[in-house]
Amino acid sequence: MVGFRPPEEIGAFAKHIPELHAIIGPDFTNGLLNIFTDKTLTSSSIKAAYSRLMNAESSVVSNLVEALKRRLTNGEKIIIPPLKNYILDTEALGEIFIRLATDYPGDVGCFSLFFFNYLKLNPGEAIFLEPNLPHAYLSGDCVECMASSDNVIRAGLTPKFKDVDHLLRIIQYEPRWGSALKFVGLTKKIVPIDSDVHTSDDQEKNSIKDDTSVMSEIVTFSPPVDDFAVDKISISDKDKIVQFSPLKSASVLIIIHGKGTLQRLHWDPLSTSNTKLDSHRSKYADNYEMPSAFVCESFEYDQGSVFFINAGTAFSVHQLQKNDLHLLAFRAYANVSTD
């Protein structure tokens, strides 16, 4: 769940779900349904309705959560008339509400499902969470990167300390469309190390072939902040050697799956010499010349391995020759200019 829904959606839920209507009441519900183009009025109406929910008597909320769960479990459906140009997927929301109410019995956060956008991210998709944008992870695995902070504020769906008043003061109440919240990365194909075609991209100088189901590529998720960016690195099991040129930022690399060796290199981008690789470093040693780079350290990696890579440090990844599992890794770093 992330960001507030458009007011007409919240109002429709509050009007047609009796348990939610019992908390929000007709005045706040009508306030949501009668908003048109005034953004200030929109945000204030959403804030008023959500504050009403979050400040409701806990025993009342608990009973109503259980009542709605019971109705849905017994086969009743959430029925919302079609909105202007679309129909809400109420069947999926009903299933999610049952799960939330089972995992967090009587929790007021269960009703947040009808205030926040529900997003389902597929593998490779991402979302950027701006400061003060309310959100909650419901299920599944993800890679999360955040700025250094100690200011997470909780208000529901958690056994941890809750600070409802503070959360209501700071969160963004501007409505969002769920589809607009997804964050698209920039895909860069990895160039074969034994190809005549090379890239000068500062993110990679890499390998291999195009005839595999998993393409060798880097997807960069670069949000509009300096704090961080994340690379999703996918390397085909056919592509055994990949070399990464230095970044201006230190970075953290985590291996999701794959097995092999990571080698830290001494990188000399100004050198004009073409030193052949030693035989222990590449199967291409007899017929391929590379820019000057020498192995300084070598580390084995496997699923769950994590590496800290200093700024200005080049490294290479060597997958096991008999490995049939492609490499999937994520690399996080400060979002500084590479110019």
Q: Which residue stretches of 119-181 are H helix? A: 164-170
pLDDT of 51 over the 90 cut: yes
Centroid of chain to Cα 311? 24
Q: What average pLDDT does range 17-35 have in this prediction?
A: 94
Q: What pTM value is reported for the model?
A: 0.80
- The amino acid that residue 126 corresponds to is A
Contact 78, 93 (CB under 8 A): yes
Strand partners, 231: 220, 331
d(CA 134, CA 169): 12
| Catalytic machinery residues | 154
Q: Please, what are the domains in the chain?
A: 2-178 (1.10.441.10), 185-333 (2.60.120.10)
Query: Which pLDDT does position 267 carry in this prediction?
Result: 64
Output Rg (C-alpha) for the chain, integer angstroms: 26
Burial of 297 (0-12, 13-18, 19+ CB in 10 A): exposed
Mean pLDDT of the chain: 84
Alpha carbon of 130 to those of 57, 87, 185, 227: distances in Å? 30, 28, 16, 12
Does residue 276 carry a pLDDT above 80? no
- Per-residue pLDDT, 293: 58
Rounded to whole angstroms, the Cα distance separating 22 from 35 reads 21
Q: What is the pLDDT of residue 171?
A: 94
H or E element at residue 13? helix 7-16
pLDDT digits (tens, 9 = 90+) for 191-227: 655 443 333 344 444 433 334 456 889 999 999 999 9
* Phi, psi angles (nearest 5°) of residue 44: -65, -35
135 annotated as belonging to a binding site for a ligand: yes
pLDDT of residue 154: 86
Q: Which residue has the higher pLDDT, 166 or 283?
A: 166
Q: How far apart are CA 169 and CA 148, in angstroms?
A: 22
126 three-state secondary structure: strand
Confidence of residue 268 (pLDDT cuts 50, 70, 90): low
Which one, of 130, 169, 175, lies nearest residue 39 by Cα? 175
pLDDT band per the 50, 70, 90 thresholds, residue 320: confident
